[in-house]
Amino acid sequence: MSRPSRFTPEQRARAVRLVAEARDNYPSEWAAMASVAAKLGTSAETVRKWVRHAEVDAGQRPGVTGEEHAEIRRLRRENAELRRANEILKAAAAFFGAELDRPLPRS
């Protein structure tokens, strides 16, 4: 499990917006990210990840969006649950099938 973030989604969106607005004032995108990160009290790498994720979500960059990632995680959990249920059903079928194959005791 991932640890909880100390930044809310609104703060992340604001940081992404600040980077977009500040790009023209700096020689590189990284410099803009570093400046915004310093103002927020986090690392430039963290801000870079937020910006890249926002670009993927907006369709500006290839990758898996946040919604798609959540859907994949949900489907994987559901798949694992169904596999466990299938194993239980197979074991039950084998148990009860063996009961039917035993000869009845004669009285």
Q: According to the model, what pLDDT value does residue 96 have?
A: 85
Measured in degrees and rounded to the nearest 5, phi and psi for residue 43 equal -85, 155
Total Cβ atoms within 10 A of residue 32: 22
Number of neighbouring beta carbons within 10 Å of residue 54? 19
pTM of the model: 0.65
pLDDT tens digits for range 74-106: 999 999 999 999 999 999 998 888 777 777 777
**Whole-angstrom distance, CA of residue 5 vs CA of residue 13:** 14
